[in-house]
Structure 1
Amino acid sequence: MQPVVHLAVGYLCYAAYARWRRDDVPAETPALVAIVGAGLADLIDKPLHAADVVPVGRTIGHSLLFVVPLVAVVWLLARRRDRELLGVAFAIGYGSHIATDIPWHVLSGDYDELGFLLWPITHMPEYSGVKPLGTVPGLGIEATTLWLEAVILVASIGLWIADGYPGTAPIRRVVRRS
């Protein structure tokens, strides 16, 4: 999944949680934490891969051996500071990233590419890229995972706008101070 789509999915998942749990749109700071959490795996792994520290772009930050303890520590720290909702938002965002990296490989039968889930115990081959989903009937055009990701991205942006851009207020405050 494209990195920006992970951010969108993280927001969608947290927005669903906020509506289910509090019957309201996401609050500013938890929304931002969920979005940052959703992007963190790529922020860890992509630079490490670019610097040739790890063999592929899905290793440490995508491995459950790292993710589970990290999410637990963040949640415990947030809970200790009486900000448990931020821990939940982080878990939802980060968890959504890992969860949405799985389906494309399953649908395409590239099960070996799921090695990231337990890296470095399991081997992670080079990512094979965009996956085909099938051919559009009557047009002969091959639909790929990028098509579905584009729909998810547009829907997420639409919801985020309708919700009043949650997550931007903390950033606007920092920018105003500088």
Structure 2
Amino acid sequence: MFPWTHAAFGYALFVVVAGALVALGVRGRISRAELLAAVAATQLPDLVDKPLAWYFAVIPSGRSLGHSLIVTVPLSLAVLAVARHRGHAEVGLAFAVGYASHLLGDSYVALYYWRVEEFTFLLWPVLPAYPYDDFAGLGALVDGVALTAPLLAALALAAVGGLVFLGHFLRAPWWSPPRPD
């Protein structure tokens, strides 16, 4: 997935999860802090793995360290604990949902076709990282992008999603109000 599709998917998944909790009366409105945490967390696995694999060659794949559940689960629990300690557990939940959405977004094709050998990145370094990427450099990546109808449709959808996110963000309070009684 491209960064903007990870962001859009994570945002949508978080809004569904948080919206369900609002509907159940468990929590109040979604805040800007939560939206930022969810969307930022959708980018974190690639911000860790891509440079370490592609530029520094210290990990085997662009889906290994930051994409591993061995890192994801403790990291998400730590962020949730710190956020809860500071009185904003909902921000920790947003981070965990955003981060998990990235892993789901990177797994959905393998899940759909049930190519279980591609899931090994989820348990790296216990299992070997699946060799999905041969990165030849940023120039080769840019040169390989062709303006096709599907790419233009994805960009248009990303632009609409970005506008929806921006509208939601601008209407949200910075912090969640207390839950309704």
Q: How does the TM-score come out when normalised to structure 1?
A: 0.73
SS of 2:93's equivalent in the other structure is: helix
Measured after TM superposition, the shift of residue 28 of structure 1 is 0.9
> How far did residue 164 of structure 1 move?
4.9
Q: Does 1:31 align with 2:35?
A: yes
2: CA distance between counterparts of 1:109 and 1:154? Answer: 31
Structure (1/2) with the larger strand percentage: 1
Whose relative contact order is higher, 1 or 2, with alpha carbons under 8 Å and at least 6 apart? 2
Instruction: Judge which range, 55-64 or 148-157, deviates more.
Output: 148-157
Question: Compared with structure 1, are the counterparts of its residues 149 and 69 closer, same or farther at alpha carbon in structure 2 (3 Å cutoff)?
Answer: farther
C-alpha RMSD of the superposition: 3.0
What are the within-5 Å matches in structure 2 for residues 30-69 of structure 1?
30-49=34-53, 50-69=55-74
Aligned: 1:77 with 2:91: no
How many residues of Structure 1 are paired with residues of Structure 2 in the alignment? 156
Q: Which runs of 5+ in 1 are unaligned?
A: 130-142, 170-178
Residues 116 and 123 of structure 1 are in contact (CA less than 8 Å); yes or no, is this contact kept in structure 2? yes
TM-score by length of 2: 0.72
Whole-angstrom CA distance in 2 between matches of 1:152 and 1:121: 37
Please say which of residues 93-102 and 13-22 is displaced more in the overlay: 13-22
Q: Contact 1:9–1:156 (CA<8 Å) still a contact in 2? A: no
| Ranges in structure 2 where 5+ consecutive residues have no aligned partner | 135-148, 175-181
Instruction: Find the residue that maps to 1:61 and give its secondary structure.
Output: coil
> Contact conserved, 1:11 with 1:93, CA < 8 A, in 2?
yes
